Amino acid sequence: MIDPRHHAMLQALSKARLCVLGGFTISPDDGLPQSNGTLLLIGPDEPAFWPDFIRSSEYNDGHPDPMDRWSKRVLSRIAIDNSAAAIFPSDGPPFHPFYSWALRSGHAWKSPIGLLVHEQAGLFVSYRGALLVPWQVQMPIATPPCTVCATKPCQTTCPVGAFANDSYDVPTCKSYLTTPEGRTCMTQGCAARRACPIGQDRRVTDQSAFHMDAFL
Q: What are 159-202's pLDDT values in tens digits?
A: 999 998 788 999 999 999 999 999 999 999 999 999 999 988 89
The HSE-up count of residue 109 (CA atoms within 13 Å, CB side) is 12
Residue 1 reports pLDDT greater than 70 = no
If you average pLDDT over residues 85-89, what whole number do you get?
96
Q: Is 0.75 surpassed by the pTM of this model? A: yes
Q: CA quadruple 102, 106, 108, 114: dihedral positive or negative?
A: positive
Q: Are 160 and 154 in contact (CB under 8 A)?
A: no
Percentage of the chain surpassing pLDDT 90?
A: 85
Tell me the pLDDT tens digit for each residue of 91-105: 989 999 999 999 999
Compute CA distances 202 → 55, 120, 183, whole Å: 19, 9, 21
If you average pLDDT over residues 75-89, what whole number do you get?
96
